[in-house]
DNA sequence: GATGAATGAGAATTCATTCAT
DNA sequence: GATGAATGAATTCTCATTCAT
């Protein structure tokens, strides 16, 4: 019985992404992935060598999607400040629209980054590359503080954005509210931008 | 053969903390815990009802330790600004000295916080309670901006501190340096304090 | 994409012979055979009913080849002694040139001879038939000892020749030398002939 | 439910020997071994790391048994001829009493000797060491031909003995008789001794 | 003739947990 | 308190065979 629409390989990848994001590599079950993809478990091994191989493919696809979504951000703006705002905004909303991404990255980080590191060094190492360029440009142009530790700033921005989504279950309980509601997303983004801009701008506006 | 020193129960807890922190609830193996604790696996079930029960005990002990370490911080200071600095510093160095804590909390968050929530609501919900009080006090005293969203600030401080430790494997690769070296810890703490203070202080000093 | 030269059926048989000889019926994989034959796995089932059916065809072809190669041996000679030498030589060099044969026969023997027995009784039972006739002729003519147990001699000759090839991997290690090098083949054949002739000739020459 | 008598580990080894001898490493099923040993499959992995590890243990035990059974043979005799007879006899009857040995060795040889080689080189390489010493001694004493190729003789004796047992299924069909009946065993041994002695003795008696 | 995708039955291995002593 | 042996259910992966085109 053939299921129409997406081809098998695509369906497997999509199902695997959901399950790996939800439970991590260790917690994910091949059976669950196969069931979700509506394929025979055997087919999974037709398209991928192993659970790990499939996981790696999912990671790779996600990193590439993230890179594609963020690499062009803010190219239209001229002012470093506006560019930084645009870059962070783009990243934040990419995470909001792709909830699997933040979780995959977080599981992977806790597991030591073995898989990401092994097969995806170029992508993984890029981490917010657009923002890095903007910061350096802004520092050169005298818009941003010149004593910025770019590493620290990048680490903080990444963390401030990503953790919001990986911790949403817990924030939901603490706040008794859904952190992913549009208003809450906006509030969070506003807070992050405020935090970051106050810290990097040379003269406070 | 009896192993002297710590009693069995304590050794089990210590071993379990290491293993759960390293691999999460799902990835941890009861056999490995027993082996590390140098006890027969059966004894583990003498002291704890199940793997989950043991995990819960480990979580509880960790939260209590965190609370104890941070709840008294900055009681000696009077100035809200200094108190905030002291509170963040205390939390940050607690994390540095207790690397298992950040990892346990992160695994738990990714798993949905089921165990933490079920048995430890009072502790879990406290989340940086001391800092919350300080912020509110500082706002009342006119030292901090009055339009602060305390929730957002707490979330950010927590994230900025904790993620540094959960991502240390990956940062080590990106930076080609050990993020937990004393100098690097200081740099990170300085950056976090700078970021947060610039954001919460009413008038920049 | 059609691969020219040998037709599909022939290529399947050739590939199957290699794989069955190398790994036995149980160890052989249909996938590997199809890949080697450069055909779609489905075609294999077009030409043969099952893996066992293919295996049987391979066995049959091999027995027929062995029979053809040895049945005419030594017909030109008159002296039973020379005929025996010629028969053994022919068999030995057939095995040297057809390394798959000895292995197929050995796997089959260990598996109980089920397939060979079931479909190829006439061929299988012949076992060195030419030599049997020569021995009986030589005994009648007073050239060979008359108290020979023909069964035993046939069994021994067969074994002495075949095992050399099935054990070549192990001999290679023990001897630190390649048993299939021309010089080594000659040495072995000379030894076998010496062993057998000393045993069957009435008067030692 | 505990099964008395042999301990679990011994029962597993005994069952595994039967199954591996009967079907080879590849054909053997862990389930069948566990069932025969009357243990839970899980226990098998308690005592042995893997199927391969168990197989290796079986091989090792068999080689050691063979060595123990044959290494002392013919120590009481003085005459090289009698010693050779005794050594071959001992080996032949060891094989008759331990039908698993010949089959294990033959499967292993066909598989390339990977396992035997990897873990048991000293034993494996000994192969009929007693007979080798006897032959050399006999040559030195002028009892055996001095142009003997010891390698060839050892290979032949080994093959003549072992193959009789690995091919017994096929011989049973060809002969319409049970090759392992005492009379048949004696006949075979007599034939082998006749073959070998005629070949190695300097002067025929 | 030819093909890529599909499948159910089973293979080895792992795991948390408990029994007998 | 302490222990070695035992277990059933699950988990990843494999294989010969067939379907739809």
Domain C1-48, what fold?
Arc Repressor Mutant, subunit A (1.10.10)
Residue C143 approaches strand E within 7 Å at CB:
no
Residue D201 — φ and ψ, nearest 5°? Answer: -70, 145
Q: How many CA atoms lie within 13 A of C169 on its CB side?
A: 18
Closest residue by C-alpha to C1' distance, nucleotide F1: B43
User: Lowest mean pLDDT: which of C78-92, C123-137, D140-154?
Assistant: C123-137
Q: Tell me: the pLDDT tens digits for B85-109?
A: 999 999 999 999 999 999 999 999 9
Closest residue by C-alpha to C1' distance, nucleotide F2: B43
- Out of D27, D110, D195, whose CB is closest to C106? D110
Q: Which nucleotide is nearest to B33 (CA to C1')?
A: E16
**Portions of chain C given CATH number 1.10.357.10:** 60-200
- Out of A26, A162, A195, whose CB is closest to B27? A26
Name the pLDDT band for D166 (thresholds 50, 70, 90).
very high
**Whole-angstrom Cα distance, residue C71 to residue C87?**
9
C113 and D173: CB-CB below 8 Å? yes
For the beta carbon of residue A54, count every other beta carbon within 10 angstroms.
25
The residues near C50 (Cβ < 8 Å, ≥ 6 apart) are none
A110 and B24: CB-CB below 8 Å? yes
C112: chain D residues, CB-CB within 8 Å: 169
Measure A42 CA to F12 C1' (Å).
Answer: 11
Asked if residue D2 has pLDDT above 60, the reply is: no
- Out of B24, B170, B187, whose CB is closest to A113? B170
A124: chain B residues, CB-CB within 8 Å: 170
Average pLDDT, chain D: 89
- Out of B26, B162, B195, whose CB is closest to A195? B195
| C139, C201 contact by CB (below 8 A) | no
Footprint of strand F on the protein (CB under 7 A): A 2, 28-31, 41-42, 45, 50-52; B 1-2, 8-9, 39-43, 46-47; C 28-31, 41-42, 45, 50-52; D 1-2, 8, 39-43, 46
**What are the tokens at D116?**
């035997």
**How much is the average pLDDT of D22-40?**
95
At C179 the three-state DSSP class reads coil
Kindly report the CATH class assigned to B7-48: mainly alpha
**How much is the average pLDDT of C143-169?**
95
Query: Where on strand E do bases come within 7 A of a protein Cβ?
Result: 1-9, 11-21
CATH superfamily of D60-200: Tetracycline Repressor, domain 2 (1.10.357.10)
- Of C6 and C10, more confident: C10
The confidence score (pLDDT) of residue C129 equals 74
**How much is the average pLDDT of A40-54?**
94
The residues near A193 (Cβ < 8 Å, ≥ 6 apart) are A85, A88, A89
**Portions of chain A given CATH number 1.10.357.10:** 59-200
| A108, A181 contact by CB (below 8 A) | no
The confidence score (pLDDT) of residue C49 equals 94
**How much is the average pLDDT of A91-98?**
96
B59-200 is classed CATH 1.10.357.10: yes
Please give the C-alpha separations between residue D93 and each of C135, C151, D88, in angstroms, as whole numbers: 29, 20, 9
The confidence score (pLDDT) of residue D72 equals 79
C125 and D174: CB-CB below 8 Å? yes
Run of H or E including C50:
none
Asked if residue C73 has pLDDT above 80, the reply is: no
A164: chain B residues, CB-CB within 8 Å: 155, 159
Q: How many CA atoms lie within 13 A of C164 on its CB side?
A: 29
Residue with tokens 């050892």: D154
Maximum mean pLDDT: which of B183-197, C121-135, D4-18: B183-197
Report the residue of chain A nearest B163, measured CA to CA: A159
Q: Tell me: the pLDDT tens digits for A114-153?
A: 888 876 655 555 557 789 899 999 999 999 999 999 999 9
* D145 alpha-carbon distance from chain centroid: 27
Percent above pLDDT 90 for chain C: 72
**Residue D128 distance to chain C (closest CA, Å):** 12
- Of A44 and B8, more confident: A44
Q: Tell me: the pLDDT tens digits for D46-73?
A: 999 999 999 999 999 998 898 888 887 7
The confidence score (pLDDT) of residue D120 equals 61
**Portions of chain B given CATH number 1.10.10.60:** 7-48
The confidence score (pLDDT) of residue D3 equals 44
Report the residue of chain B nearest A103, measured CA to CA: B110
């Amino acid at each position: 019985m053939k299921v129409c629409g997406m081809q098998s390989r695509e369906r497997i990848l999509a199902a695997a992404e959901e399950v790996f994001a939800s439970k991590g590599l260790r917690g994910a079950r091949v059976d669950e992935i196969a069931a979700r993809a509506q394929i025979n478990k055997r087919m999974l091994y037709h398209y991928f060598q192993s659970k790990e191989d499939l996981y790696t493919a999912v990671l790779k696809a996600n990193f590439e999607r993230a890179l594609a979504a963020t690499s062009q951000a803010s190219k239209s703006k001229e002012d470093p400040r506006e560019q930084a705002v645009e870059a962070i905004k783009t990243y934040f909303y990419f995470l909001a629209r792709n909830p699997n991404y933040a979780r995959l990255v977080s599981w992977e980080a806790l597991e030591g980054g073995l898989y990401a590191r092994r097969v995806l060094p170029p992508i993984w190492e890029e981490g917010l590359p657009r923002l890095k360029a903007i910061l350096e440009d802004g520092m050169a142009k005298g818009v941003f503080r010149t004593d910025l530790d770019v590493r620290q700033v990048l680490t903080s921005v990444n963390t401030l954005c990503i953790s919001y989504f990986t911790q949403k279950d817990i924030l939901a309980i603490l706040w008794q509210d859904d952190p992913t509601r549009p208003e809450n997303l906006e509030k969070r983004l506003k807070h992050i931008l405020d935090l970051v801009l106050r810290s990097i701008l040379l003269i406070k506006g």
